[in-house]
Amino acid sequence: MRKSKNKSLAKAKADKYFSEYIRLRDADSNGIATCCTCGKRDHWKQMDAGHFITRDRLATRYHEQNCHAQCRLCNRFQGGHQYKHAKHVEEMYGRDVPQEILELSQQVTKYSQAEFELHAERYREAAADIRSCKGL
């Protein structure tokens, strides 16, 4: 993968591939994902990768248990339904996990351009693996 021209572009690339990975991870073999907060089902390309703790918190921005397929209405226009998302995280990973993610999100984290590029490459490859396995 080509290096980004600057840190902002590297961050955008990491976000793009992380989002793609999450939506593919949460999709079935037909490419249909279910919104973690309202249950709406749609093609993974029509869904968002919604964060339980906002992605403004770099410590949990690329935390896979913090992010799940979410319909655009819930994620973009209804504030992400954090409480419902927390319940989903609890059901998926265990009762203590939402609190653990919340505590982790409080850590001050800074990524270099190279670290963003590593995230981008990791999730680009992971998304490609899922596409291959699911035939998407």
CB < 8 Å & 24+ apart, contacts of 8-16:
10/113, 10/114, 10/116, 10/117, 10/120, 11/111, 11/116, 13/116, 13/117, 13/120, 14/62, 14/116, 14/117, 14/119, 14/120, 14/123, 15/55, 15/61, 16/120
pLDDT digits (tens, 9 = 90+) for 33-87: 999 999 999 999 999 999 999 999 999 999 999 999 999 999 998 888 999 999 9
